[in-house]
Chains A and B, each alone.
Chain A
Amino acid sequence: AQSVTQLGSHVSVSEGALVLLRCNYSSSVPPYLFWYVQYPNQGLQLLLKYTTGATLVKGINGFEAEFKKSETSFHLTKPSAHMSDAAEYFCAVSESTGFQKLVFGTGTRLLVSP
């Protein structure tokens, strides 16, 4: 069975500061990994995904994440936070075999202060 752990239900940063949102996963087969963002009362939007190939993945809005197999991690980073980045962020994993079923972490709420 797969699982995702997101450390820190809330992360607060100042505008312009580095954003680091942590995600660790567990999977018995090679995983596909995703980061989604959810703004209040909206659906989820894909930020980036790792399937195969380069382990450093760049996404929208200046976000990137690095797949580290040895650490079973897929942390999300952004060099400089913007006020508009304030939202809920979800890490998810799916199996590279069989049918797609996303398993989500519990989410991290990012707060950005001026």
Chain B
Amino acid sequence: NAGVMQNPRHLVRRRGQEARLRCSPMKGHSHVYWYRQLPEEGLKFMVYLQKENIIDESGMPKERFSAEFPKEGPSILRIQQVVRGDSAAYFCASSQVGQGKNEQFFGPGTRLTVL
């Protein structure tokens, strides 16, 4: 039973380029969460999605960032016109249901470096 999968594991972009991060949740999970971890900091919530719906995007920057979780395929976190401050580890998690007590299973993360 495969866990949460993220790709790529490492991504290097130059300033102004687009970064596209992918997340495949665990089998049977329809809830996906994205978190960002800046160096020497904890994880910060970005967005919570269900299939074809954004439920909570209160942690997403207002500009350049977007997320989707289509009916088919992985969830995508897109960062347009990347800047050096976007360099971070981006983690995806999934859960079977969305209530607070249920465990979120984390992927290995995508480490984005912006040159």
Contacts and interface: CB of A to CB of B under 8 A. Distances in A.
Interface of A: 4, 32, 36, 41-46, 49, 51-52, 90, 94-107
Contacts of B59: 101
Contact of B41 (A32, A46, A99, A106): A106
Nearest to B31: A100
8 A-B pairs with least C-beta separation? A104-B42, A43-B106, A51-B101, A94-B100, A44-B106, A100-B100, A106-B42, A43-B108
Contacts, number: 75
Interface of B: 4, 31, 33, 35, 40-45, 48, 55-56, 58-59, 91, 93, 95, 98-109, 111
B97 to A, nearest CB: 9
Contact of A46 (B48, B58, B101, B103): B103
Nearest to A51: B101
